[in-house]
Structure 1
Amino acid sequence: MTPVRWTHLLALVGALLLGSGCTTMSTGKADRAQGVAFDARDRVVLCPRPADACASPSALRELGDRAIAASTPEAPRHYALLLDRGPDALLARVNLIRAARRSIDLQTYIFDEDDAGHLVLDELISAARRGVRVRVLVDQLSALKKASTLASLSSAHANFDLRVYNPMFNDSRMSYPKYLMASLCCWDRLNQRMHSKLLLIDDAVGITGGRNYQDDYYDWSPEYDFRDRDVLVAGPVAGEMRENFEAFWTSPISVPAERLDDVGRLLLREGAPPLEHAAFIAPERVTQMSNDASDVTRVETLAHAAMPVGTVHFIADVPEKHQGENDTAENAGQRLRDIVESAQTEVLMQTPYLVLSEDAQDMFRAMHQRASAPRVTISTNSLASTDAFIVYALSYKYKRRYLREFGFHIYEFKPFPGAAPIDLEAIAAGAEEEAKRAELLAGAEEEQRRKKQPPQQQSEGVATRYFGSGGGGANAPVPLERAGVRIGLHAKSIVVDERIGVVGTHNFDPRGDNYNTESMVVIEDPAFARALADSIRGDMQPVNAWVIAPRDKPPVFPGIDYSLGKVSESLPLFDLWPWRYATSYDFVHGPDCPAPLLRDDPNFRRCYTPVGDFPEVSLGLKGLTTRIFTAFGAGLAPIL
């Protein structure tokens, strides 16, 4: 592009930014805005017992005390609890927040202002008011939709602090013009996101894994829910978690919410807004969860499933990942590859997005060429189940490479799994509540229209949320052939030789290696590894997943078909060869096929039937778009 064109483009973007109010507050104004927030903070502590801040008794919190008491520097002791079910994961979080005696540190990528998000926020504020120090760190791009929410939280209580990681243009949210400008001027920084997730209680018990704070992660969405996984760990490893959180909290790119431009301007213009939120969409379900989180029997049952484990490590990126002296090989992605590369017999990996970094591809190719190569089994999303069809398109592009060059055994998750650990009753109950509320609000809106009064904004939001707009966004799930609550895989876990188990945030993808910060718990314990392996293998059962295997060879010129397909796959653009190497197969149970088989078993085709490349998908516009991204989207791999 010529200098003149660059000038025109920058002038256009500058005009857009000026039109959207993009002017940075001075340091003096930021100081005054922070002063408004600090002056408004409540300093009353409701608990008369500073020693424990009136913490609720909790069998989950006690795991930390027991592990630390039994530990020595030479022999640390830990407990680990897999949280496979969404309601259990939310219950554990709420229970632990109520059980906190001194401190709560929460770090997340997504923090939505829906029922699950508001429930947790309410609990965090309650903990601060009874004397617990609460610190919340969220990523700018995906957390807390309104500047007014951040202004309210930054002014809520002296024990509550909120910071935002890597706020582009020092705002809590970005308009489209600002996003365009960030893409042009600061591409690397824009993509440097905090994908790390952690809830740390009293530096004794921590939870990390795939879940964010949004209804979809706890079986509370009536349309699309994630099959996800967290791990709760109790013991000295919590000290490593604290150190990593401190590095993020004190980083220059973690900005106090009240010092952000849009939040600060609101504070200076209107003062500290009251701390409130819209009514819960499904209040009965929220109340039931709140009660369950204080149910001693339920919590003890959950804690009883925790197992004593051997060596535990917390592996996490630093906030300034890939900047200056921190751009080293010792990041979370490299350490994760080291663990995988140590496999002798088997790697069992679960990732929602099967798009591998170049380093990971080199590693798996070399592992497959060993004299005794370990079996690599992958559990991932199908096009029908994924929330990111563009990412799936690249996974689809490289199926031949994955099967033939890397030797993968791939199982793709079904959108309506028959036996996944999803609480369909909770989803149905919430959907029924939401439908009733939407009906009432629609009636209220009709009454207002008859009276020629404008409808309330809250009513519009609820109605839109329940009934949907029909669009769903460019990267929303694809349309399916039948209706129902769709389930998408979001868990990120690895088991090596059934001796090492890994649960964390890393998708084993280029973004995790190159842009996002990631975190994970690594547990070297055979019993834990077997339990994790059983959980992943459950998602690969025929009722839950299709098998990806080579399709039957064409009767004419099969060698030419394969060679042309391979050449087309290797092209960064114009991968247009229509006959793909692999397709999806479904297991057909019968007298001759009593149990599932591996794709390379001689009897595989007798027991499995091909169901097409995109089973369950209604091949409309997004089916075509998937093919287009397969052909033209290889250059997007590093950021997807």
Structure 2
Amino acid sequence: MRKLHLRRLMWIIPLVLLLLIGSGLLLADRLTPAASGQPSHALPVAGDPTTLDREAAPLLQAHPGQSGVLWLSDGLDAFAARSVISQRAGRSLDVMYYIWKDDIPGHLMAHELYQAAERGVRVRLLLDDLNMHGFDPAMAAIDAHPNIEVRLYNPFRNRGGLWRLVEMVQRVFSINHRMHNKAWIADNQVAIIGGRNIGAEYFDAREDVNFRDLDLLLLGPSVGQASAIFDDYWNSQAVVPIAALNPHTRQQLDALLQTVDMESQLTQAAPYLARIGQRLAEPTLRQDHVIQWSDSVRVLSDPPLKHRKAQRDDWLVQAIVADLGSSRRQMQLISPYFVPGRNGSERMIAMRRQGVAIEVVTNSLAATDVAAVHSGWNSYRKPLVAAGTTVYELKRRGPRSGIVLPLGSSGASLHTKAYLVDGRRGFVGSFNLDPRSANLNTEMGVLFDDDALGARLQREFDFLAHPDRSYQVSLDGQGKLQWTDGDGQRYHHEPDTRWWLRAWVGLLGLLPIESQL
């Protein structure tokens, strides 16, 4: 009898899964909660000047038509910059992120939005829904404030439990398209665009993580471009107000505020609050800050309904491919997940034969947090190195420090997404050089064509590629891969990893999953 039940289950379970997925394909986007938010748009720089208006005015007058760029490579500075421009905003805050962690930095950032709303600032917060599971109460709580609205990109109809899992199976294809954009825009006057999400590891405050990321603080015309992108997403059919999915109460908001008050007294919050205090003691846009000015800065993004469009003319990948393909002498790539694909790899090898110097910085296997992506990189690494591509792989914090998990490292090193072409054309943003960023997720970033900005990004590349931080990957005398440390020590397998992790990555490399990486 038991065998009979097992046989039935063996065909019933696959049949149920097939029916769920099939119904998802047939019903397509009708399974997605309908967009029900009222349209709204960025508030113009008008009326009584805000603190940010007054600080920006003399700088913008001295550089008419140009965009100012301030580099935020230090994690605590990146955190403080978001806090300070929020505290000095007097009109609006428009914020969009892929991940907003339910941790101390996430709570402190949410509190900044609440405090701004208390001053009368209009706050629009747009989050991708994939990572919101369990964080709904906090976000629904701040949505309860009359000056704050929270919306979710491509949300789950079911907010938790078994039905959420059922929906994930049924919508396995449509739920795979995520909003990976990152932007923090204050008063339509200052914008922070880059690679960081909101969470402890993105702001260099966790001692067990050697993390590197990069944001750009922008002034001038490029801020208007960022605001227009935000409006496109905010008003798109892929976005739903959280209030339509999850009701909130005043009690939830009070509970969140009490949590933030308690957490602000903890030692873990001290580095964030101390850096905010330092930055609040000076103007946000000091004249002596190293702000670089250029008339060749653009903020670009994928369309919010990218996954529903057959035409790719306005996809971000098109601009990036054209930029990289225009290289005549040098191309330097920084990507935590690097899977160039067959066409990309062949193009890079052809460019090497034409004399273009190509350098790549990416995570080592010991440092990556997604081992499956590293399995995709494995397929292209050796041919690229053999063709003369210089490859650097970032180390972990230290040999065998932290925990290396089957799915990836608990101490990833690199999160910066950038490239530099011929020393002057570059990009900083959310776009990984992999199939997921190209085809599945929406992405956003800053493109420039400027010698001074190129020189600054060159310094970032050199910092990452330094032997203290990265292994250089090359071929030994037998044509096998080897990793060279700063002291000349050579490794003949992935450094700082166990055999079972290398075997797991090899197994993943046999699966037809590259399009999802």
Task: Please give the secondary structure, in 1, of the residue aligned with 2:102.
Answer: coil
RMSD value, Cα: 3.1
The one of 234, 254, 274 aligned to 1:288: 274
CA distance in structure 2 between the aligned counterparts of 1:473 and 1:153, rounded to whole angstroms: 35
Aligned: 1:637 with 2:517: no
Change in Cα spacing, 1:536 to 1:199, as seen in structure 2 (3 Å) is same
Give the superposition deviation at 1:292. 2.3
- String of CA shifts for 1:298-334, please: whole Å, max 9, x gaps: x566961111223111111111003136x32331011
The one of 124, 135, 139 aligned to 2:124: 135
Please give the TM-score of this superposition, normalised by the length of structure 1: 0.69
In structure 2, the residue matched to 1:504 is 429
Change in Cα spacing, 1:7 to 1:627, as seen in structure 2 (3 Å) is closer
Aligned ranges 1:470-481 → 2 under 5 Å: 474-477=406-409
Query: 1:65·1:235 contact (CA, 8 Å) conserved in 2?
Result: no
Query: 1:115·1:286 contact (CA, 8 Å) conserved in 2?
Result: no
Task: Please give the secondary structure, in 2, of the residue aligned with 1:616.
Answer: coil
Aligned ranges 1:27-426 → 2 under 5 Å: 51-52=48-49, 57=51, 64-66=56-58, 68-70=60-62, 76-143=65-132, 145-155=134-144, 157-168=145-156, 170-171=157-158, 173=159, 175=161, 178-179=164-165, 181-183=167-169, 185-260=170-245, 263-264=246-247, 267=248, 273-277=252-256, 278=259, 279-280=262-263, 281=266, 282-296=268-282, 299=284, 304-324=289-309, 327-370=311-354, 373-405=355-387, 407-416=388-397
Give the superposition deviation at 1:70. 4.8
Give the superposition deviation at 1:64. 4.0
In structure 1, the residue matched to 2:492 is 612
In structure 1, the residue matched to 2:472 is 547
Query: 1:353·1:381 contact (CA, 8 Å) conserved in 2?
Result: yes
CA distance in structure 2 between the aligned counterparts of 1:398 and 1:25, rounded to whole angstroms: 37
Aligned residues: 482
Give the superposition deviation at 1:25. 12
CA distance in structure 2 between the aligned counterparts of 1:348 and 1:246, rounded to whole angstroms: 32
Q: Identity percentage over the alignment?
A: 25
Task: Please give the secondary structure, in 1, of the residue aligned with 2:454.
Answer: helix
Q: Which amino acid aligns with 1:638?
A: S
CA distance in structure 2 between the aligned counterparts of 1:25 and 1:351, rounded to whole angstroms: 32
In structure 2, the residue matched to 1:625 is 504
Task: Please give the secondary structure, in 1, of the residue aligned with 2:496.
Answer: coil
Q: Which amino acid aligns with 1:543?
A: D
Give the superposition deviation at 1:586. 2.0
CA distance in structure 2 between the aligned counterparts of 1:26 and 1:272, rounded to whole angstroms: 26
Query: 2:419·2:427 contact (CA, 8 Å) conserved in 1?
Result: yes
Q: Which amino acid aligns with 1:415?
A: R
In structure 2, the residue matched to 1:572 is none
CA distance in structure 2 between the aligned counterparts of 1:202 and 1:628, rounded to whole angstroms: 50
Query: 1:150·1:258 contact (CA, 8 Å) conserved in 2?
Result: no
Change in Cα spacing, 1:335 to 1:303, as seen in structure 2 (3 Å) is farther
Query: 2:83·2:276 contact (CA, 8 Å) conserved in 1?
Result: yes
Task: Please give the secondary structure, in 2, of the residue aligned with 1:498.
Answer: coil
CA distance in structure 1 between the aligned counterparts of 2:444 and 2:58, rounded to whole angstroms: 25
Give the superposition deviation at 1:520. 0.8
Query: 1:417·1:487 contact (CA, 8 Å) conserved in 2?
Result: no
CA distance in structure 1 between the aligned counterparts of 2:282 and 2:82, rounded to whole angstroms: 15
CA distance in structure 1 between the aligned counterparts of 2:299 and 2:253, rounded to whole angstroms: 38
CA distance in structure 2 between the aligned counterparts of 1:214 and 1:609, rounded to whole angstroms: 35
Query: 2:423·2:451 contact (CA, 8 Å) conserved in 1?
Result: yes
Query: 2:79·2:272 contact (CA, 8 Å) conserved in 1?
Result: no
Query: 2:80·2:272 contact (CA, 8 Å) conserved in 1?
Result: no
Give the superposition deviation at 1:361. 2.9
Change in Cα spacing, 1:360 to 1:488, as seen in structure 2 (3 Å) is same
- String of CA shifts for 1:147-203, please: whole Å, max 9, x gaps: 222321221x221110000003x24x45566345434x3333111100011111122
CA distance in structure 2 between the aligned counterparts of 1:63 and 1:515, rounded to whole angstroms: 39
CA distance in structure 1 between the aligned counterparts of 2:375 and 2:73, rounded to whole angstroms: 28
Q: Which amino acid aligns with 1:109?
A: Y
Change in Cα spacing, 1:396 to 1:71, as seen in structure 2 (3 Å) is same
- String of CA shifts for 1:477-498, please: whole Å, max 9, x gaps: 17xxxxxxx4511100111111
Q: Which amino acid aligns with 1:273?
A: Q
Give the superposition deviation at 1:399. 1.6
- String of CA shifts for 1:196-222, please: whole Å, max 9, x gaps: 111111222111111000000111223
Task: Please give the secondary structure, in 1, of the residue aligned with 2:211.
Answer: strand
The one of 8, 16, 32 aligned to 1:9: 16
- String of CA shifts for 1:117-161, please: whole Å, max 9, x gaps: 111111111111101111000000124733222321221x22111
Q: Which amino acid aligns with 1:395?
A: W
CA distance in structure 2 between the aligned counterparts of 1:174 and 1:77, rounded to whole angstroms: 47
Task: Please give the secondary structure, in 2, of the residue aligned with 1:488.
Answer: coil
Q: Which amino acid aligns with 2:490?
A: P
Give the superposition deviation at 1:404. 2.7
CA distance in structure 2 between the aligned counterparts of 1:192 and 1:232, rounded to whole angstroms: 27
Aligned: 1:585 with 2:510: no
Change in Cα spacing, 1:6 to 1:145, as seen in structure 2 (3 Å) is closer
Task: Please give the secondary structure, in 2, of the residue aligned with 1:536.
Answer: helix
Change in Cα spacing, 1:538 to 1:207, as seen in structure 2 (3 Å) is same
State which structure, 1 or 2, has the greater radius of gyration over its C-alpha atoms: 1
CA distance in structure 1 between the aligned counterparts of 2:86 and 2:347, rounded to whole angstroms: 41
Q: Which amino acid aligns with 1:525?
A: D
CA distance in structure 1 between the aligned counterparts of 2:435 and 2:475, rounded to whole angstroms: 26
CA distance in structure 1 between the aligned counterparts of 2:32 and 2:445, rounded to whole angstroms: 37
Query: 1:386·1:477 contact (CA, 8 Å) conserved in 2?
Result: yes
Task: Please give the secondary structure, in 2, of the residue aligned with 1:549.
Answer: strand
Q: Which amino acid aligns with 2:358?
A: V
Give the superposition deviation at 1:616. 2.0
Task: Please give the secondary structure, in 1, of the residue aligned with 2:240.
Answer: strand
Task: Please give the secondary structure, in 2, of the residue aligned with 1:226.
Answer: coil
Aligned: 1:490 with 2:415: yes
CA distance in structure 1 between the aligned counterparts of 2:434 and 2:33, rounded to whole angstroms: 39
CA distance in structure 2 between the aligned counterparts of 1:491 and 1:206, rounded to whole angstroms: 18
CA distance in structure 2 between the aligned counterparts of 1:477 and 1:629, rounded to whole angstroms: 16
Task: Please give the secondary structure, in 1, of the residue aligned with 2:409.
Answer: coil
In structure 1, the residue matched to 2:25 is none
- String of CA shifts for 1:533-578, please: whole Å, max 9, x gaps: 111111111111110001221xxxxxxxx7xxxxxxxxxxxxxxxx
5+ residue gaps, structure 1: 15-23, 35-49, 419-467, 479-485, 554-561, 563-580, 589-607
Task: Please give the secondary structure, in 2, of the residue aligned with 1:273.
Answer: helix
Please give the TM-score of this superposition, normalised by the length of structure 2: 0.85
Query: 1:322·1:328 contact (CA, 8 Å) conserved in 2?
Result: no
Change in Cα spacing, 1:302 to 1:347, as seen in structure 2 (3 Å) is farther
In structure 2, the residue matched to 1:534 is 459
Give the superposition deviation at 1:415. 1.0
Query: 2:332·2:420 contact (CA, 8 Å) conserved in 1?
Result: yes
